[in-house]
Structure 1
C-alpha cells in the first residue's frame, strides 16, 4: 500500500477524533517499509496550491489566544521535549500537543501536509519536499556535529573484516531512512574513496534497532544516530569505523526544525514562541550536556552510559552553508534539478529573536 493511497483517508480522520490513531497507523506502515516514495504524502491539492505561490495570510489569532502545535512523541533526543521539561513554554501562549509516535521517514512529509505542525529531520528531506511543492519552512537550526559529539556513527562487527571504504562493496548497510544524511553523506564520502555505491545494499533500520541488527549479521555496517549510537559504542561485538565528522567535518550534520506554512501564516507569534523556547533549550544543552543526557536517559528509558549527547547550533540561528551543501549533493545525485531550489528558499530566521538581536 502506498502512502498516496492513505493520504485521503488520513485527511478525513484529521477532522475526527481518530486523527491520532491514523498517524500511528501510517507511522507503523512506514516503519514496516510499506510506504511508497518519501514525498508521496503531498496530495495533488497541496502541490497545486503550492505551485500558485505563498497563500495570503490566514486570519491571525488574537494576542493571548492559547495555541497548541502538533508534534511527534518519539523516543529520541529532541529540543521540543527538553524545552517542555525545562519550562521554556511557560509564560507563553504556546504548548506542544504530542500526537503519538511517527516513523522518522514520515516526519517531513506529514509536516509538509500539515498533519503535524513542526518536524525535525535533515536538510535534504526538507529541500526535496520544498522542490516537490510542500508548504514548509526551516525556522530553527538544530544540532551540529562536533568531533566529540557527532550526529551519527558508523559501526561494523569486529570479525567482519571491514576496515575501509572499499570493503563495503557487496555488503549491506543499515540506515534510518533514505533521502537524509545517512544516505547522502555516506554515498558522497564513499564515491570520494573510489567506491562503487551501486554495489552496496542500503536497507532501512530504525536507530534503536540498528545495533542488534548488525550484531546478528543482518547488516554489515550500521549507521546509528545519537542518542542510540552510544549503546553500540559499548557493544562487545562491534567496533566503530567513523563518525560523520570524519567524513565531512560536520557540514552535513545540521538537523533543523521546520514548520508547516499554514501554521506559520496563521500563528506567527506562536512560531516565535516555539523557536525561542527551542533556542533556549539548545543553549542549555550546550552548557549542561551531562544534565541533558540524564533527562534523555529517563525519557527514552536507556541506560545513561549508553546515551550519546547532542551539540546544537548556538541560538539555533540558521546559516546557508549546511543547506547549500545538501543542495549541491542532491544535484550531484540527480535528485534535484540544478538551480530549482536556492538556499534562501528553504529557511528563515525571521522568528528567531536571537538572530534579530544579532542584526540590531
Structure 2
C-alpha cells in the first residue's frame, strides 16, 4: 500500500522549496499604482469547472470594478489551488482550512482573507454508498475504497474524524483506501463499483441523490454542525504590496456572499447559469440547478479562530502538528472585510 503520509511529506517539502524560490518572482506590476488607486487591476486565479466561486459572482455583479479576474485554468483540488497561489502563479487560492493550516505550519508565508464555503443543513459533505452496499457503519469501511476530490483536504479530514469518533484505531483507519476521483466522475465511479464509498457535496450530491439508488452513511454537518470550512488565501507579500486591491477584492467577495444569501434561490441559479455560459469554458450547467445555500456560516465570510482551531486540534491529536505550533488567530486577517465591525466588539 502506498504510504500516503510519506508522499504528502515529500509533496510539502517540494512545495515549500517552490514557494520560497518563487516568492521573489511575483509580478512587478503589483508594485505599480494603477488608475491612481489600485496597485493592480488584474487578479489571477484557478477556477472550478461547473461552479461559480464567490469572487466570480462578485465580478459579475460589478462589486470588483474596475478590478478584473484573470482565469488561469481549472482545478478540482483546494491544496493545489493554494499551492499555485503560494508560489505566485496565481494571486489567490481557495481551500479547506485544514490544508491551509498544514501549509502555514510548514512555513509558507500565506494568510486567509475571507471564508468562502462551509457546511450547514443544506450544504454539506456526505458519504454515500449504493443502496445494496454492505457498508452501514464505521467498521464496515475497513478494507473499502473511498473516492474524494483530493487527498489532504476536507473530505479526508472528515472521513478520518468520523472513523475515529466511531471507535476505529489508527491501524484500522490505515486499511481504508482513499483515492482521488474528479467530482464530475464520482457518482459514476460509485455506480460502476470502482469505489465503495463516494464523497459528494453541493450540487453534485443533490443530483446524485435525485438519480436514486444510493444512500448516505454520514455527513460532516452531523459531526460539527454549521461551520465555515474553507477560505480564500493570498501570500503575505501580495497583501502588503497590493492593500487597496486586496481590500476591494475582499469587500466585493463579502458582498457577493451576502447577495447569494439574501437573493431568492431561483435568481441566484439564473445568475450562475449566465456566468458559466458567458465565460464559455465548455462546462455543464446541470448541477447548478441544485444550488441551495451560500454555506458560509459567518456574515460576509468574516473569519474567527475557531474556523481553524478545529483542524489544528485534529492535526495535533493525529501527531501531525506540535501543540502551540500554529494558532488559529495567526492564520487569517479580517482587516479588509467590510462586515468586521458587525461581529467584532
* 1:249 correspondence with 2:232: no
The runs of 5 or more residues in structure 1 that have no matched partner are: 1-32, 51-57
What's the counterpart of residue 213 of structure 1?
189
Following TM superposition, by how much is the alpha carbon of 1:119 offset from its aligned partner in structure 2, in angstroms? 1.1
1:120-155 deviation digits (Å, cap 9, x = unpaired): 1100111111111212100111223111222x1211
2: CA distance between counterparts of 1:228 and 1:40? 33
CA contact (8 A) 2:54 2:257 kept: yes
What's the counterpart of residue 285 of structure 1?
260
1:182-222 deviation digits (Å, cap 9, x = unpaired): 11121012111012312211111122211111111011111
* 1:264 correspondence with 2:236: no
The aligned runs of 1:284-323 (5 Å cut-off) are: 284-288=259-263, 289-297=265-273, 299=276, 300-303=283-286, 304-307=288-291, 309-312=293-296, 313-323=298-308
Following TM superposition, by how much is the alpha carbon of 1:102 offset from its aligned partner in structure 2, in angstroms? 3.0
Q: 1:170 to 1:275 in 2, by over 3 A?
A: same
What's the counterpart of residue 154 of structure 1?
127
What's the counterpart of residue 318 of structure 2?
333
Following TM superposition, by how much is the alpha carbon of 1:248 offset from its aligned partner in structure 2, in angstroms? 2.0
CA contact (8 A) 1:111 1:117 kept: yes
TM-score, normalised on structure 2? Answer: 0.84
CA contact (8 A) 1:297 1:307 kept: no
40, 52, 56: which one aligns with 2:14: 40
318, 335, 339: which one aligns with 1:354: 339
Q: How many equivalent pairs are there?
A: 316
CA contact (8 A) 2:76 2:150 kept: no
127, 136, 139: which one aligns with 2:101: 127
Q: 1:202 to 1:343 in 2, by over 3 A?
A: same
Following TM superposition, by how much is the alpha carbon of 1:114 offset from its aligned partner in structure 2, in angstroms? 1.4
Q: CA RMSD in A?
A: 2.6
2: CA distance between counterparts of 1:89 and 1:97? 12
2: CA distance between counterparts of 1:307 and 1:212? 20
Following TM superposition, by how much is the alpha carbon of 1:354 offset from its aligned partner in structure 2, in angstroms? 1.7
The runs of 5 or more residues in structure 2 that have no matched partner are: 1-6, 25-29, 277-282
What's the counterpart of residue 4 of structure 2?
none
1:202-260 deviation digits (Å, cap 9, x = unpaired): 11112221111111101111112223212211122222222210122234x52111112
CA contact (8 A) 1:137 1:346 kept: yes
Q: 1:308 to 1:301 in 2, by over 3 A?
A: farther
CA contact (8 A) 1:174 1:221 kept: yes
Following TM superposition, by how much is the alpha carbon of 1:48 offset from its aligned partner in structure 2, in angstroms? 11
Tell me whether 58-67 or 185-194 shows the greater mean CA deviation.
Answer: 58-67
Secondary structure in 1 aligned to 2:73?
A: coil
1: CA distance between counterparts of 2:69 and 2:13? 25
Following TM superposition, by how much is the alpha carbon of 1:276 offset from its aligned partner in structure 2, in angstroms? 0.4
Following TM superposition, by how much is the alpha carbon of 1:70 offset from its aligned partner in structure 2, in angstroms? 0.7
1: CA distance between counterparts of 2:246 and 2:325? 27
The aligned runs of 1:127-146 (5 Å cut-off) are: 127-146=101-120
CA contact (8 A) 2:304 2:329 kept: no
2: CA distance between counterparts of 1:207 and 1:294? 22
CA contact (8 A) 2:37 2:244 kept: no
1:247-282 deviation digits (Å, cap 9, x = unpaired): 22234x521111122211110011000100110000
1: CA distance between counterparts of 2:253 and 2:116? 9
CA contact (8 A) 1:350 1:356 kept: no
Tell me whether 234-243 or 294-303 shows the greater mean CA deviation.
Answer: 294-303
Q: 1:70 to 1:267 in 2, by over 3 A?
A: same
Q: Greater relative contact order (Cα 8 A, min sep 6): structure 1 or 2?
A: 2
CA contact (8 A) 1:123 1:326 kept: yes
Q: 1:296 to 1:211 in 2, by over 3 A?
A: farther
2: CA distance between counterparts of 1:168 and 1:271? 44
